[in-house]
Amino acid sequence: MTHLEKAEELLQQQYHCSQALFGAFAGDFGLDLKTAFKVSTCFGGGMRQGGTCGCITAALMVLGMGLGFYDSQDRELEMYGNKKTDEFIQRFREKMDGKVNCREILGKDISVPIEMAEIRQQGLILKTCPSAMSVSIHLLEEMLEEYLKEVAESSIALEDIPENEDMQSLLKRVSKRNRFNRNVNNLLFASKKDIGFIQFDIRKFKIVNDLYGEKFGDEILYFIIRQLRENCSENQFFVNLRSDVFMVVTEYENAQELVEFIQELDERISYYKNVRLQLSYGIYTVEDRNMELRQMEDRAAMARKRAKNNVLTNILFYQEQFKDSLYNRKFIEENMQLAITERQFQMYLQPKYSIAQNVIIGAEALVRWKHPEKGLIYPNQFIPIIEENGFVKKVDYYIWSEACHFIRRCQEEGVDPAPISVNVSRIHLRDDDECIQILSEMIEETGIRKELLELEITETADDQQISNKALRLKEEGFTLLMDDFGSGYSSLNILLETPFDVIKLDKKFMENMMVSRKGRLILEQVVAMANKLELGLLAEGVETKEQIDLLQSIGCDQVQGYYYAKPMPAEDFFALLKEQNALV
């Protein structure tokens, strides 16, 4: 039922317009109707005197709760007299031809008994109030939707919002966040104790979703919320920031008290239905209470992210040097679009060689960022960030295009082109058919043969959606390479589900297999398996003569690594191809 339908239903039940309108939005804020009616009645005095329309009164209460107006000391956060409420009243006046009070809308004064009797006798409330209510609700939904879009695009952490999440769900999410902010600000202002921000998440939560399904993942999140509700005391406030990221703000006497709180919480939430959950915790202890709330959260987040990569502990306190990573992220996010526009991203190519023939048989396209001031920025500095915020799609498209144009250049200049393999990020495999369309358009535009552009898909958890997309790519005639074979836990299952043409042995897998007789035997069996499955096989990260000799002895001829060549600018690779062509 829509907000308008709920309001009209309540109006038919003889509730006045202020109650009906506020009641229509009550569920969005977790209020029951009885409470909503009490609140709206308290604010309905102006309406009962024939003054301000009850629809305006109720609408300003909805705006107040939805947009977080709660601080009477802050003019921008007061329910009356701020830009948003002024905007609402102005827009209401325009829609209602200048009418803003009950006398004007009803044509009679409800504060005069005789006229109120006429209002009831003529049924004016049901005849005239619905139009004012409809205008109010339309404006409210419009303004709240605008606000939610602003919030989603701002620094407030609302990442991972499902695309199909409706406005009412979003409003509840923002309302909870506003309530959390209010409680934390009050705590910072009133408490005499030290205050700590604890932020935590589940390590590799996406893999949990892949293995057990998103419904099970949601169950885990609800389980954690229940445990927080039971475990947090009166002056400990928590919020689910996004997906699997949670925040707790608490008073404390000493640092050990914070650690003990986390350890007790971790003991409660680290298992769900026999599934072991590994959590990472970051702590920021507040030094300056005048610092913006967002900055405090950022520091806890930096500590949490460092804890994710720490093998010794899953609990880390914030340190000042963590700020460098925040500044790096900010720089990347502010400059990544400009890097595309100004062609600061550059395609590097790492050759693939045949051991037996000692010739180039292809290359892998890699990305480097050459910034005009900072110089060369390596992938490990920006790839994780653009993967997280989704910009990796644009960077991939850029490199795909560069690879296609490089192949066409080879053809135009009479150089036998070598196949170029490009990375297809996981995000592409979850879209509709956008990546297939874009790849096809690039190939058609450049006029190259489809088999010269190979697609590398990183080994990942078994995922039917990804397998289906890979199958579609195969049906379109693309050559598929499984990148980093042996780095995960489901390589063989993925081979069954996905129609790969070539598997690339991961560098770490290679190194691990070469340290013992058993490992070399496993490596030999992988090569034999690939041959029997009629799959191509390429070893990555080959750096030593010993590796070359072993691979050649067990029948793996295709290699890639520093032993032959490092990644190089496209121009240098073109020169190598040209030189090789001249020798043939």
Q: State how beta strands 245-252 and 275-276 pair.
A: unpaired
- Amino acid identity at 176: K
Q: Are 22 and 4 in contact (CB under 8 A)?
A: no
φ/ψ of 242, rounded to 5, equals -170, 145
Helices (H), 309-447: 323-341, 379-389, 392-412, 434-446
Q: How far apart are CA 303 and CA 315, in angstroms?
A: 8
Orientation angle between helical segments 124-153 and 83-95, nearest 10 degrees: 140
Instruction: Note the Cα 110 to chain centre separation in Å.
Output: 52
Other Cβ atoms less than 10 A from the Cβ of 408: the count is 17
Orientation angle between helical segments 54-67 and 124-153, nearest 10 degrees: 20
Helices (H), 43-162: 45-48, 54-67, 83-95, 102-106, 113-122, 124-153
Exposed e or buried b per residue across 171-194, where buried means at least 16 C-beta atoms within 10 angstroms of its C-beta: bbbbbebbbbbebbeebbeeeeeb
Per-residue HEC secondary structure of 2-31 comes to CHHHHHHHHHHCCCCHHHHHHHHHHHHHCC
Orientation angle between helical segments 293-308 and 167-190, nearest 10 degrees: 100
DSSP tag of 101: B
Q: Are 281 and 265 in contact (CB under 8 A)?
A: no
Other Cβ atoms less than 10 A from the Cβ of 251: the count is 17
Q: How far apart are CA 241 and CA 248, in angstroms?
A: 10
Q: Are 242 and 234 in contact (CB under 8 A)?
A: no
Q: Which residues are catalytic?
A: 540
Q: Are 107 and 132 in contact (CB under 8 A)?
A: no
The structure tokens 């060689």 sit at 353
Burial of 536 (0-12, 13-18, 19+ CB in 10 A): middle
